[in-house]
Structure 1
Amino acid sequence: MPPPVKKMHLVLITGMSGSGKSVALRALEDLGFYCIDNLPPELLMPLIKLERTNQADQLAIAMDVRSAASLPQVPSQLAQLKTQGMQVDCLFLDASTDTLMRRFSETRRRHPLSKSETHDHDHDQHRALAEAIDLERELLSELRDQAHVIDSSIIRPTQLQSYVKSFIDSPGDPLTLVFESFAFKRGVPNDADFVFDVRMLPNPHYEPGLRDLTGCDAPVVDFLQQQADVQAMLTQIHAFLDHWLDAMARNHRSYVTVAIGCTGGQHRSVYLVEQLNALFAPRWSTLKRHREIAARQTY
């Protein structure tokens, strides 16, 4: 009796030019995915048919704005593949406009939507690049709305690879909750659907014995669990999300990212992410990220 055919897992990677799509592809290659970069949408369905014939079970495809004319057909293609029983995950890599402009300037690469003519003045080049990035955001907006978004603005490539691998390892449930801690002083994550500011809460940073610890460490946890305001914040965020998640799932939302920010991204926000993840994990597929802690660990 022949072995059962494995269910194919397709990961579509898209996003802004310069946001790290090649890094994400390499992470998936490490996980055993057969990866194809810059596939025209017209070739997606024929490729799936071919790979099914070859009994492939892990396929990752990167598409970007170079296929702008045919990108509108991609959502319907993905919906069709899902009805055929395929596991389809969409990953959108994003970054702030300032970050993208800096990366293009540093690498001297041309943006795929930049006009072909050269400009004599830095100001003209700067304006042309900004306009190209704005147009790219508009063209990719529909795909972004249906994908899990990762903001690569201030994270290192090793961090991004870790985020991608965690995303792939998460169960393919109808809705995945992502809890992310961050420091306001380093900017609000672009991938956040909800942002909660907890800087008004008691800060363990001012306790000498807790300053060098994080919200994952037991002494900090004990300290914050004794603070009435912290517990009130936790209860209210939990109640808000618990009330609306079913409605978001019914609206075909696949991913919801909840960002919790404090001053340094080390104590209060980390603690609340850990607590919220524990509260929601029994019912929903969850991921957790600690942006600032992970950034320090990659040095």
Structure 2
Amino acid sequence: MNAEKSGIEVAVVTGLSGAGRSTAAKCLEDLGWFVVDNLPPELIATMVELGAQARGAITRVAVVMDVRSRAFTEDLASIIKDLDARGYKPKVLFLEATDDVLIRRFEAVRRGHPMQGDGRLADGIEAERILLTPLREEADLVLDTSALSIHQLRAKIEDTFGSESAQRTRVTVLSFGYKYGLPMDADLVMDVRFLPNPFWIPELREFTGLDGEVRNYVLSQEGAEEFLDRYHELLRLIGAGYRREGKRYLTLAIGCTGGKHRSVALSEELASRLASEDGMAVKVVHRDLGRE
């Protein structure tokens, strides 16, 4: 894709109704693409031009098209050629599935096929398959979703359209104090109040887990290093599973009494270890640091 020349990447997602276009669109949005669903073909070039003139605000545009658009196949084919001639080099993704799978999917949601008319569901699927044959033959990538789960389809789209950074799991390590309540958005919560509290040591009380004195004290306590080692190993397993399932955001909450000493020091250390892992982008948030 010639993004350097045009300043913008363009993708066109099309294919058979029921083959997974909506899932593809949501996945592309999660990957940072600006997605427009069912835009009239004659407006596609105008939208791409506007995106290219947005001075970096829009760098990746995906257009999702189906047979509801007027003069769908003829107009879309000509628009793709026009975009190619202008240097945008659109990448065309075509989604399909077998007739029996498409029929089961339509029956599951109790909806008719857009080309069914007064006929049978199978008639609509056949008519659409014939109509889209020229586009399928010109597509850069054809995906048969018959045997794919939603997560498997997302993984294939991420491999094709996702940048390396977009495919990484974004991990937030959040320290907090139990006295101020549990964080509502945490995926995993770990209680580190099993370690001695620096608050009860006068010379450490006014410091925080960001200070070396407190950090060294907390990490030197019996069980601290073992906790970090085992929790880190567990998170490797969980993170890999989340990526397979298409989960790209993970919030790890670590709590102590006030959210000032133990949870802060351990959150910083855990985040440092996770940052060395492939496939993870890590940041640290100390929710209750600074509270009285």
Give TM-score, length-normalised by structure 1.
0.50
Tell me if structure 2 keeps the 8 A contact 1:10–1:60. yes
Specify which of 57, 60, 69 is matched with residue 58 of structure 1.
Answer: 60
Matched, 1:109 2:143: no
Q: Hey, what does 1:271 align to over in structure 2?
A: none
In structure 2, give the amino acid aligned to 1:130.
A
- For residue 27 of structure 1, give the secondary structure of its aligned residue in structure 2: helix
Matched-pair contact (CA < 8 Å) for 2:45–2:79: yes
Aligned to 1:130: 122
Deviation at 1:146, TM superposition (A): 1.1
- Give the superposed CA RMSD: 2.5
Identical aligned residues as a percent: 37
In the alignment, what sits opposite 1:162? 155
Letter in 2 for 1:63: M
SS in 2 for 1:153: coil
1:141 aligns to what? 133
Residue of structure 2 equivalent to 1:16: 16
For 2:44, the aligned partner's letter is L
**Contact kept? 1:12, 1:89, Cα under 8 Å:** yes
Deviation at 1:87, TM superposition (A): 3.4
Kindly report structure 1 stretches of 4+ aligned residues shifted beyond 6 Å. none
Q: CA deviation at 1:43?
A: 1.4
Residue type of the alignment partner of 2:134: E
Matched residues, number: 162
Gaps of 5+ in 2: 164-240, 246-292
Question: What is the deviation of 1:79?
Answer: 2.0
User: Which residue number in structure 2 is paired with residue 274 of structure 1?
Assistant: none
Rounded Cα–Cα distance in structure 2 between residues aligned with 1:38 and 1:80: 18
Name the CA distance, whole Å, in 1 between partners of 2:52 and 2:43: 14
In structure 2, what is the equivalent of residue 95 of structure 1?
97
Query: Which string of whole-angstrom CA distances, capped at 9 and with x for unpartnered residues, describes residues 109-132 of structure 1?
Result: 1211121x5xxxxxxxxx611110
CA contact (8 A) 1:41 1:71 kept: no
Could you list the runs of 5+ residues in structure 1 that have no partner in the other structure? Answer: 118-126, 171-293
After TM superposition, give the deviation of residue 67 of structure 1 in Å.
Answer: 1.5
The whole-number CA distance in structure 2 between the counterparts of 1:100 and 1:82 is 32
Measure how far apart 1:57 and its partner are.
Answer: 1.3
Using the alignment, how far apart are the partners of 1:46 and 1:6 within structure 2? 14
Q: Which digits, 9 at most, give the CA deviation of each residue in 1:183-209, with x for residues without a partner? A: xxxxxxxxxxxxxxxxxxxxxxxxxxx
Q: Is the 1:18–1:104 Cα contact (8 Å) retained in structure 2?
A: yes
Matches within 5 A, 1:1-299: 7-55=7-55, 56-67=58-69, 69-115=71-117, 117=118, 128-147=120-139, 148-169=141-162
Q: Deviations over 1:211-233 (max 9, x none)?
A: xxxxxxxxxxxxxxxxxxxxxxx
Instruction: Give yes or no for contact 1:41–1:74 (8 Å, CA) kept in 2.
Output: yes
SS of equivalent residue, structure 1 residue 154 = coil
- For 2:122, the aligned partner's letter is A
Asked whether the equivalents of residues 8 and 87 of structure 1 are also in contact (C-alpha less than 8 Å), the reply is: no
